[in-house]
């Protein structure tokens, strides 16, 4: 049986504070290792963190010239310039505001092919692996787009999105029928190979998932619980999401 590690937790006062704390962790990494590989996430939660990175870039000139980024996931079937594609999101939320080089940006290409998955996986190894991976969490515990019952041993693969995930993400589209049914995502094993992982959760709607993450459960039915198999995970929550029971975790 694999070892169970203790997750570190930082409770921020509010969403702004959470965003500042996580941005500071990234900025510190960029200063320590100017050619670091940073794993990035999409969704609503990291938007404030990206805003803080941009603010710091403009004020302090932190340089991303030699930084490489790899994104967790992408919808299948959306072109790069579709406003809901994660490529578009990343350009808009971060990349066009900082001095990262286009050739150092890696995002799955949204094609439904085994080849695309394999080459994404190989490239992560090729660029030296992820130094610091940022994660969000879905209400059902998904990380990246690894839905419940994804094997913990999974590598980059194509997934069929859970109805609950499509419903949760429908707010960004004209309606649920517009939300793609498939996505390409780094696998759970791919994520666990990152040297350091930071998971963010904000708001009351995430408190059940956070509570479950800090329970004794390690089960493929709750993908984020795989993080207990990693030795350097910090969960950064705001007070609303932090409605967890420390006793259940001791
Ligand atoms: C999305 C993304 C995940 C993200 C999660 C939570 O479906 N694929 O990478 O972490 O769901 O998103 P949000 O931060 O909007 O709640």
Does ligand 1 have an atom closer than 6 angstroms to the CB of 146?
A: no
4 vs 230, residue with greater confidence: 230
At 43-85, the pLDDT tens digits run 999 999 999 999 999 999 999 999 999 999 999 999 889 999 9
Task: Give the position, in ligand 1's atom list, of the atom nearest the Cα of 136.
Answer: 10
The three-state DSSP-derived secondary structure of the chain is: CCCCCCCEEEEECCHHHHHHHHHHHHHHHHHHCCCCEEEECCCCCCHHHHHHHHHHHHHHCCCCCCCEEEECEEECCCCCCCCCCHHHHHHHHCHHHCCCCHHHEECCCCCCCHHHHHHHHHHHHHCCCCCEEEECCCCCCCECCECCCCCCCCCCEEEECCHHHHHHHHHHCCCHHHCCCEEEECCHHHHHCCCEEEEEECCHHHHHHHHHHCCCCCCCCCHHHHHHHCCCEEEEEECCCCCCCHHHHC
Is the confidence at residue 250, as pLDDT, over 50? no
pTM of the model: 0.95
At 122-172, the pLDDT tens digits run 999 999 999 999 999 999 999 999 999 999 999 999 999 989 999 999 999
Q: How confident is the model at residue 18 (pLDDT cuts 50, 70, 90)?
A: very high
Is the confidence at residue 182, as pLDDT, over 70? yes
pLDDT for res 245? 54
| Residues with active-site annotation | 73, 140, 142, 147
Does ligand 1 have an atom closer than 6 angstroms to the CB of 140?
A: no
Does ligand 1 have an atom closer than 6 angstroms to the CB of 202?
A: no
pLDDT for res 248? 45
pLDDT for res 184? 96
Is the confidence at residue 249, as pLDDT, over 80? no
Residue-averaged pLDDT of the chain: 94
Mean pLDDT, rounded, for 79-103: 96
Mean pLDDT, rounded, for 177-189: 96
Residue nearest (by alpha carbon) to ligand 1 atom 3? 144
């Amino acid at each position: 049986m694999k070892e169970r590690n203790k997750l570190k937790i930082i409770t921020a006062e509010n969403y702004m504070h959470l965003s500042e704390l996580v941005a500071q962790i990234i900025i510190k990494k960029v200063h320590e290792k100017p050619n670091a590989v940073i794993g990035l996430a999409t969704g609503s939660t990291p938007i404030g963190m990206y805003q803080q990175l941009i603010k710091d870039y403009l004020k302090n000139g932190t340089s991303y010239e030699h930084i490489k980024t790899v994104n967790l996931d992408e919808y299948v079937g959306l072109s790069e310039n579709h406003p809901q594609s994660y490529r578009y999101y990343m350009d808009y939320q971060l990349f066009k505001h900082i001095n990262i080089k286009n050739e150092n940006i890696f995002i799955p290409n949204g094609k439904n092919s085994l080849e695309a998955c394999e080459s994404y996986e190989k490239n992560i190894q090729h660029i030296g692996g992820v130094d610091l991976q940022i994660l969000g969490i879905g209400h059902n515990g998904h990380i990246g787009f690894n839905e419940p019952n994804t094997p913990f041993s999974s590598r980059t693969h194509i997934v069929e999105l859970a109805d609950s995930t499509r419903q949760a993400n429908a707010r960004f589209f004209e309606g649920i029928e517009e939300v793609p049914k498939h996505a390409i995502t780094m696998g759970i094993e791919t994520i666990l190979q990152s040297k350091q992982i930071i998971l963010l959760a904000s708001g009351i709607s995430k408190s059940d998932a956070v509570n479950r993450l800090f329970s004794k459960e390690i089960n493929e039915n709750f993908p984020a619980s795989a993080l207990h198999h990693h030795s350097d995970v910090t969960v950064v929550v705001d007070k609303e999401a932090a409605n967890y029971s420390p006793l259940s975790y001791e």
